[in-house]
Amino acid sequence: MASSRWPHQNTTTVPQVGEGELMEDATVKDRALVSVVIPTYNSALTVERALRSVAAQTYRPIEVIVVDDASQDDTLCVVSKCAAPWLRAVRRDVNGGASAARNLGVQEAHGTYVAFLDSDDEWSPTKLEQQVAIMEQYPASSIVACNAAIIRHERSPLDAGHAKRDLFKGSMPTTGVYTWDQMLVRSLVHTSCTLIRRKDILAAGGFDTRLTVAEDWDLWLKLARHGDIRLIKDRLSTLHDVPQSLMKRNRSLRYKCRLAVLRSRLADDPSRLDGRSKRAITAVHCETCSHNAFVEGRPLEAIKILMHAVILARSPHPLLRKLNKAMGRVLAKMYKVHDDQSHSTTTR
205 shares a domain with 111: yes
Give the pLDDT band (50/70/90) at residue 314.
low
**What are residue 7's DSSP bridge partners?**
none
pLDDT of residue 6: 42
Domain membership of residue 283 (yes or no) is yes
259 shares a domain with 233: no
280 shares a domain with 170: no
pLDDT of 135-182, one tens digit each? 999 999 999 999 999 998 766 666 666 667 899 988 899 899 999 988
41 shares a domain with 106: yes
Choose the final residue of a domain: 176, 207, 241: 241
Specify the CATH number for the domain of residue 91: 3.90.550.10
Choose the final residue of a domain: 215, 241, 267: 241
pLDDT of 213-262, one tens digit each? 899 999 999 999 999 999 999 999 999 987 655 445 566 677 778 788 88
218 shares a domain with 160: yes
Domain membership of residue 6 (yes or no) is no
Domain membership of residue 247 (yes or no) is no
200 shares a domain with 122: yes
* 10, pLDDT greater than 70: no
326 shares a domain with 207: no
Distance CA 138, CA 145 (A): 13
Domain membership of residue 97 (yes or no) is yes
Give the pLDDT band (50/70/90) at residue 315.
low
207 shares a domain with 70: yes
pTM score, whole prediction: 0.79
Residue 113 · residue 194 · CB < 8 Å: no
* 343, pLDDT greater than 70: no
Structural domain for 259, as ranges: 252-346
Query: Which one, of 183, 283, 176, 277, lies nearest residue 225 by Cα?
Result: 183
Domain membership of residue 3 (yes or no) is no
pLDDT of 274-303, one tens digit each? 777 777 777 776 777 777 777 777 777 777
Choose the final residue of a domain: 219, 241, 263: 241
Give φ, ψ of 195 to 5 degrees: -135, 125
309 shares a domain with 212: no
Q: Where are the alpha helices (DSSP H) in the chain?
A: 47-55, 75-81, 98-108, 127-137, 180-185, 198-204, 215-224, 246-249, 251-268, 275-295, 299-312, 317-346
234 shares a domain with 325: no
pLDDT of residue 160: 61
200 shares a domain with 335: no
pLDDT of residue 230: 98
Distance CA 307, CA 293 (A): 13
Residue 121 · residue 111 · CB < 8 Å: no
**What are residue 37's DSSP bridge partners?**
65, 116
pLDDT of 241-253, one tens digit each? 876 554 455 666 7
134 shares a domain with 43: yes
Domain membership of residue 1 (yes or no) is no
Distance CA 47, CA 66 (A): 9
